[in-house]
Amino acid sequence: MRSGMGNTSVALSDVRKSYGNLQVIHGIDLTVEDGEFVVFVGPSGCGKSTLLRMIAGLEEVTDGEIAIKGRDVTDLDPSDRGIAMVFQSYALYPHMSVRDNLGFGLKMANTPQAEIDRRVAHASDILKIGALLDRRPGQLSGGQRQRVAIGRAIVREPDVFLFDEPLSNLDAELRVSMRIEIARLHRELGNTMIYVTHDQTEAMTLADKIVVLRDGRIEQVGTPRKVYEDPDNVFVAGFIGSPRMNLLQAMKQDEGTIVLSGAKLSGLPADTALATGDELIFGIRPEHIELSTGGTDSFAARVDFAEYLGSTQFLYCTLDDGQSLIVERREGDDIENGAMIQLTAPVGKRRFFRQSGERIR
Ligand code: ADP
């Protein structure tokens, strides 16, 4: 984490949004620290773009307050908020050169030409687009266009950068390299950045802090490691991580143990609300499952299909009770389709959830 963090950059207090009678954002409280890279992630329709656009001032806030650098901006125009936004669609002017695209906003704001030149040079330096300045957007690749779009945000020297799914239009390989570019940009500039994506890998790799959203509500806020290793609920457990965490129906046996597909497993935390025979959800990540020789604390599975990917092998399995399970193996001999195997997992990696989805800690 950078120095300079610790001051609040963006603060949302009980922010709500309705379209007519339909409420889509249900009271969001969130603080973003100065210099922090925060990613809003969640499935399509969860409200992440709406939330970002409210911070930008492009969408009216129905209720609640938004402050940037301690200043209430809830009713301010986008241009008065100290923000700059980068869109998925680039939104470049097709008839202008890259240089003019970069400088256009500053020119409109009557910035002196020498200052425009300085900022355009600085941005093109950071983004390594100096050789493209005289081209038009139509003469650029998708990745180069997105770089220009980011450059246009940089020249504004905003307090806060807002990114709305900026990499979604790029092919998979370019997405990875632009992701690394954006991480580098954040390191170099040190600005506060808020970034919206539906892609949990982007969220994991870019964020200092991930905000997981569902249906207009925050499900969990935390570092990538926190939301991955210590999810608050079944939704976060299933959304973060690829392949996803195995989430299996099980039953409480007695204090500290469950029954999964007829096998007894330990590790269930004490929970007075849960009685013997109550259903619960057992969560285990594919990479935490180990082959075992059987006996206590293990369960049986049949390998339906083994997928060999070189560095890893995925085993698509079925338990005795019919539930499906994915196992990820980093090493070991190949396992044949149809093999019967015994599995276990370190007790510390086992996760338990109530039927309602809430984590049992
Ligand atoms: P996300 O960015 O997570 O995909 P959005 O913020 O775009 O989600 O949308 C959140 C919810 O608000 C969705 O249910 C969407 O259908 C609804 N919504 C977005 N814009 C409008 C609008 N102009 N009128 C009515 N409903 C809208």
Residues 149, 105 within the same domain? yes
Pocket test for ligand 1, best of 15, 24, 58, 162 (most atoms within 8 A of CB): 24
- 54 in a structural domain: yes
Q: What's the gap in Å between 308 CA and the centre of ligand 1?
A: 40
Determine if ligand 1 sits within 6 Å of the CB of residue 48: yes
Residue 23 contacts residue 17 (beta carbons within 8 Å): yes
Residue 272 pLDDT more than 90? Answer: no
pLDDT at residue 334 in the model? 87
84-100 confidence digits (pLDDT tens):
999 988 889 999 999 99
Residue 6 pLDDT more than 70? Answer: no
pLDDT band at 2 (very low <50, low <70, confident <90, very high): very low
Residues 158, 104 within the same domain? yes
- 361 in a structural domain: no
> Which residue in 15, 26, 33 sits closest to 73, CA to CA?
15
Determine if ligand 1 sits within 6 Å of the CB of residue 24: yes
- Domain final residue pick, 210, 239, 268: 239
- 1 in a structural domain: no
Residues 15, 146 within the same domain? yes
- Structurally, how many domains does the chain consist of? 2
Q: What is the mean pLDDT of residues 260-268?
A: 97
Question: In 10 A of CB 161, how many CB atoms?
Answer: 24
Residues 199, 50 within the same domain? yes
Residue 116 pLDDT more than 80? Answer: yes
- 21 in a structural domain: yes
How far apart are the C-alpha atoms of 253 and 68, rounded to whole Å? 51
Q: What is the CATH number of the domain that holds 214?
A: 3.40.50.300
Q: What is the CATH number of the domain that holds 314?
A: 2.40.50.140
pLDDT at residue 332 in the model? 85
Residue 340 burial by Cβ neighbours in a 10 Å radius (0-12, 13-18, 19+): exposed
Q: What is the mean pLDDT of residues 266-279?
A: 94
- Give the residue whose CA is nearest to atom 24 of ligand 1: 19
Q: What's the gap in Å between 35 CA and the centre of ligand 1?
A: 28
Residue 4 pLDDT more than 80? Answer: no
Q: What's the gap in Å between 200 CA and the centre of ligand 1?
A: 19
pLDDT at residue 299 in the model? 98
Residue 5 pLDDT more than 60? Answer: no
Residues 126, 147 within the same domain? yes
Determine if ligand 1 sits within 6 Å of the CB of residue 21: no
Residue 273 pLDDT more than 50? Answer: yes
Residues spanned by the domain of 55: 8-239
How far apart are the C-alpha atoms of 350 and 253, rounded to whole Å? 16
> Which residues fall within 8 angstroms of residue 342, CB to CB, at 6 or more apart?
291, 292, 293, 294, 298, 299, 300, 301
pLDDT at residue 1 in the model? 41
Determine if ligand 1 sits within 6 Å of the CB of residue 19: yes
Q: What is the mean pLDDT of residues 276-300?
A: 97
Residue 39 pLDDT more than 50? Answer: yes
pLDDT at residue 331 in the model? 87
- Domain final residue pick, 239, 256, 289: 239
pLDDT at residue 285 in the model? 98
pLDDT band at 157 (very low <50, low <70, confident <90, very high): very high
- Domain final residue pick, 239, 259, 287: 239
Residue 330 burial by Cβ neighbours in a 10 Å radius (0-12, 13-18, 19+): exposed
Q: What is the mean pLDDT of residues 290-309?
A: 96
Residues 170, 308 within the same domain? no
Residues 232, 285 within the same domain? no
Q: What is the mean pLDDT of residues 46-68?
A: 98
310-354 confidence digits (pLDDT tens):
999 999 999 999 999 999 999 888 899 999 999 999 999 999 999
Residues 224, 253 within the same domain? no
Residues 187, 266 within the same domain? no
pLDDT at residue 3 in the model? 45
Determine if ligand 1 sits within 6 Å of the CB of residue 53: no
Residue 236 contacts residue 330 (beta carbons within 8 Å): no
- 2 in a structural domain: no
